[in-house]
Chains A and B, each alone.
Chain A
Amino acid sequence: MYLSELKKGETAVIEAIEADDLLAKLFEMGCVPGEKVKMVLIAPFGDPVAIQVAGYTLAMRMQEAAKVRIRKDSFSAQNFKL
């Protein structure tokens, strides 16, 4: 599944970024494979969204989030630590 499908409050682990033009930018912002993310905010018109990643909050549009492949955290959200 993709980051864009993640609901508010849900957590996941990044598997890959499926867009070459975004790769370098998202990686340097800390969105590297294996990193945990949590969906924290959704803007008034449903887009953009903000995630918590690598200890800070990062905003991106749905079109970018749709390129981030994730694996849903099988553990519950309580185990989630940043």
Chain B
Amino acid sequence: MFNAITGLNQKVSNFPGTTVDYKWADIGNTRIIDLPGTYSIYPKSGDEHVTVSTILGQKTGFEPDKIIVVADASNLKRSLLLCLQVIDLGLPTVLALNMLDVAAQKHIQVNAVELSNLLGIPVVEINARKKQGIDILEQTVSDLKVPTKVFYQINPAIIEFLEELKIVINTGNIYKDLVMAHQVSNASHAKQNIARVFSKYEFETGKLQARETVERFKQIDEILIECISKTAHVADRSNFADKVITHKVWGLLIFFGLLFVMFQSIFWLARWPMELIELGFDNLSSYILHQFPNTMWSDLVANGVLAGVSGVLVFVPQIMILFSLLTLLEDSGYMARVSFIMDRLMRSFGLNGKSVVPLIGGMACAVPSIMATRNIENVRDRLITIMVIPLMSCSARLPVYVLLIGLIVPDTQVWGVFSMQGLVMLGMYLVGFVAALLVALVFKIILKQNNKNYFILEMPAYKWPTINNVSLVVWSRVKVFVKEAGLIILCVSVILWFLGSYGPGDKLEQVEKKYSQSIYKDSTSAQAQMQAEKLEASYAGHFGKWIEPAIRPLGFDWKIGIALLSSFAAREVFVGTMSAIYSIGDGEGHQSLKHKMQAEVDTLTGKPRYSMATVWSLMFFYAFALQCTSTIAVVYRETKSWRWPVLQIIILTGMAYLTSLAIYQLFS
């Protein structure tokens, strides 16, 4: 609905907890704020807290002037709880009645006029998906007035309590005083005064809220009798689907089957667009090198910029497929079922059914997924989930895996249907997942459980995903990938081109002089030899050599060292860096990066540089290491301390180093 009013394109989905932060848009001199859904004015989790503190004006520093409460007409009873509470806060409120089509399917008719009379606020029928009724809603909002009714009934037992509370908090609205008092006494830095008033009258916030809820539901029942008519009860379409999807055998089979199909299709469907992009860029850079005079600039464009850009763009098809499939699952309502069937399993590892969706989301990107953990009420479960999400193989690792798997795994088919490379890729994703579970288990043993631990989750009705929303999500994701990752990769490639083409002193000239002697002329192997020596003599070479001792035991040489360091900006930079390193000074014969890496020979052993042991070691390093500055930043923001991100860096990168060490030492 926010999208419909503002004309913006924000992601919507069919899983409780998709919106976890407030988003705003200015139209003229009006600011419209979209808030996460909440069941009541008393927040139970982080995302609900955002909503309530915004309504109370604590988050933004100013109270909202008007409030639009969006209600699900097919389930009006629960939606009205929050609506009544908001009305009692005394702010001008309108009720937007959404999902009337779903209600009609359930044979529920809502009399909006009667409802408006009973609530004392305007009620507008809308269809947010089809963007209907939005103009009427806007009209209603523009001349919205303070509600005419008050529903909160002061229980005689707490009159004295409320009077005394007034001394501490006095907003002029007695219900608002109460809501704010609840808020404060829930916080860790509870104001002692409020706590004292609460304890003096022996009111526990939980019980007080519960009593209010029961009273409100009684009022709601009375309202609903007047304005809702139900015809015969029909079995819900969701019910049959749920029987299969949450079935002991079928449920689990479907879940793992879906994951499997997802990875196979990432490889299969993306193959030819990827080849096309690669070919296009190779041709383009050869064209530039041949058409323009061989100057520093043409070299920079062809080998620095274009190598970097193609390194980014080539992964766009795979990212598109991954995000389309994930969004389809989210929109349909399937993700809530995944939480349901996986909760028992996740609990053994100190996680929670609600951890599953952020973990699966972690396969796309850790940053939004870490924010998505806000709907996990339990503090410990949430923390553990945050700590292990970066182990899930995110889309930034995809390019790295694709490149490395392409080096060592033959492009063959298993049983005629499955791609061998796809299977290995699935394996790498499983490695990340298993590692996440094991680390979670360790945390479960170390961290003590606090008292509040429950799993209560609404299972939304199934819906057909709209093409509109899926394409919206995919488009915005691709844009972010190309823009942010692309910019970093582009900068890094240009810097690397510079560092790789110039060196300290006159070492580079010495190499060139050496090979300009007549005996080396016309020999192609000597040409390649010269390029290698030139790179080694450059700044980049010196830098790589400097860190080589630390990574040599893992099977990495100084070239990988350069790529590793640049990867700390973002993982996918690895591929861009490798392309840049391998194409520097490469005047002729533009081969793809894969072929260049395959042809590379280890100068110490004379064997191929990218042996099985080295590549596996490298893949596991990328599977575990925390090489993402955005993740570190978001973990700091969500946990509000440096303790957890620092611990995370040490644990994950330490794991990466030790695993790679073990792999290389055992298999080389």
Contact = CB atoms under 8 A, between A and B. Distances in A.
Interface of A: 20-30, 32-33, 40-48, 50, 54-61, 63-64, 81-82
B543 interface: no
Contact of B455 (A21, A41, A48): A48
Contacts of B213: 24, 27-28, 32
B340 A40 contact: no
Contacts of A59: 336, 339-340, 343, 353, 455-459
A48 B340 contact: yes
B217 interface: yes
B217 A32 contact: yes
Interface stretch (B244-252, B261-269, B560-568): B244-252
Interface string B251-273: 11000000000000000000000
Contact of B204 (A20, A29, A33, A46): A20
Given A21-B451, A50-B242, 18 more contacts: A24-B206, A24-B209, A27-B213, A29-B458, A41-B243, A48-B340, A50-B246, A55-B77, A56-B459, A57-B242, A59-B336, A59-B459, A60-B457, A61-B343, A61-B454, A63-B454, A64-B456, A82-B233
Interface stretch (B38-46, B110-118, B319-327, B653-661): B38-46
B242 A64 contact: no
Nearest to A23: B210
Contacts of A20: 204, 206-207
Nearest to B72: A56
Contact of A56 (B40, B75, B214): B75
B74 interface: yes
Interface in B160-213: 204-207, 209-210, 213
Q: Give the residue among B106, B340, B353 with the most A Cβ atoms within 10 A.
A: B340
B314 interface: no
Contacts of A58: 456-459
B81 interface: yes
Contacts of A26: 456
B452 interface: yes
B344 interface: yes
Nearest 4 Cβ contacts at the A-B interface? A45-B344, A23-B210, A27-B213, A57-B459
Interface SS of chain B: helix, strand, loop or mixed? helix
B78 interface: yes
B619 to A, nearest CB: 32
Contacts of A61: 343, 454-455
A48 B75 contact: no
B601 to A, nearest CB: 52
Contact of B248 (A28, A44, A63, A81): A44
A51 B106 CA distance: 18
Interface string B225-247: 00000100100001100110011
Contacts of B205: 24
Contacts of A22: 454, 456
14 contacts: A21-B454, A24-B44, A24-B210, A28-B78, A29-B458, A41-B340, A44-B344, A50-B340, A58-B458, A59-B455, A59-B456, A60-B455, A60-B457, A61-B343
Given A54-B77, A81-B233, A25 B456 contact: yes
B345 interface: yes
B340 A43 contact: yes
A28 B246 contact: no
Interface SS of chain A: helix, strand, loop or mixed? mixed
A28 B455 contact: no
Given A25-B454, A61-B454, A61-B455, A48 B353 contact: yes
| B-side interface size class | 35 or more
B198 to A, nearest CB: 14
B400 to A, nearest CB: 34
A12 to B, nearest CB: 17
Interface in B420-435: none
Contacts of A60: 454-457
Nearest to B206: A24
B341 interface: yes
A79 to B, nearest CB: 11
Interface in B78-133: 78, 81, 106
Contacts of B345: 45
Nearest to B453: A63
B206 A21 contact: yes
Contacts of B458: 29, 56-59
Given A21-B206, A56-B78, A48 B40 contact: no
Interface string B454-468: 111111010000000
Contacts of A27: 209-210, 213-214, 217
B207 A23 contact: yes
Contacts of B233: 81-82
A21 B214 contact: no
Interface string B13-32: 00000000000000000000
A46 B217 CA distance: 31
Nearest to A8: B243
B375 to A, nearest CB: 13
B343 A54 contact: no
Contacts of A23: 206-207, 209-210
Given A25-B44, A41-B340, A44-B247, A30 B78 contact: yes
Given A24-B209, A27-B213, A47 B344 contact: yes
B165 to A, nearest CB: 19
A38 to B, nearest CB: 10
Contacts of B207: 20, 23-24
Interface string B377-407: 0000000000000000000000000000000
Contact of A47 (B81, B242, B343): B343
A21 B452 contact: yes
A60 to B, nearest CB: 5
Contacts of A56: 75, 78, 458-459, 461
B452 A30 contact: no
A29 B456 contact: yes
Contacts of B243: 41
A78 to B, nearest CB: 11
A46 B233 CA distance: 28
Given A25-B456, A45-B344, A45-B345, A33 B214 contact: yes
Contacts of B206: 20-21, 23-24
A32 B81 CA distance: 12
Contacts of B214: 27, 32-33
Contact of A44 (B339, B341, B457): B341
Contacts of A44: 246-249, 251-252, 341, 344
Contacts of B44: 24-25
Nearest to A42: B246
